[in-house]
Amino acid sequence: MRNVTNSTFNSTELRKVQVHAGSKFVPAGTSSSSGTNVLGIVVFSVVFGGVLSRMGKRGAPMKDFFDNLNEIVMVMVKLVMW
């Protein structure tokens, strides 16, 4: 009879995680990740749209630009889906 070992493979063990020392603002044991600041992009977009809508006639060219950009992207999405 052969000795067979059944084991699982945990992919999280392969990742190197840097754990930083604690500071005044960051608690000890947290790790940082280099990613996109999605919350910053969302807040900027909301503020940008709010200011653009309040500009009236002066903001019309920029609004038209984004309307046309939206149309272009929608056509591209339809092509990809097709």
Backbone angle region of 29, left / alpha / beta, with phi > 0 → left and psi within -120 to 50 → alpha = left
Band (60; pLDDT cuts 50, 70, 90): very high
Return the closest-CA partner of residue 31 out of 46, 43, 15: 15
Of residues 9 and 57, which shows the higher confidence score? 57
Mean pLDDT score of the chain: 80
Domain ranges of the chain: 18-81
Tell whether pTM > 0.75: no
Model confidence pLDDT, tens digit, residues 10-43 = 555 555 666 666 666 766 666 666 677 899 999 9
CA distances from 37 to 30, 40, 41, 44 (A): 17, 5, 7, 11
Contact (CB, 8 A) for 14 and 2: no
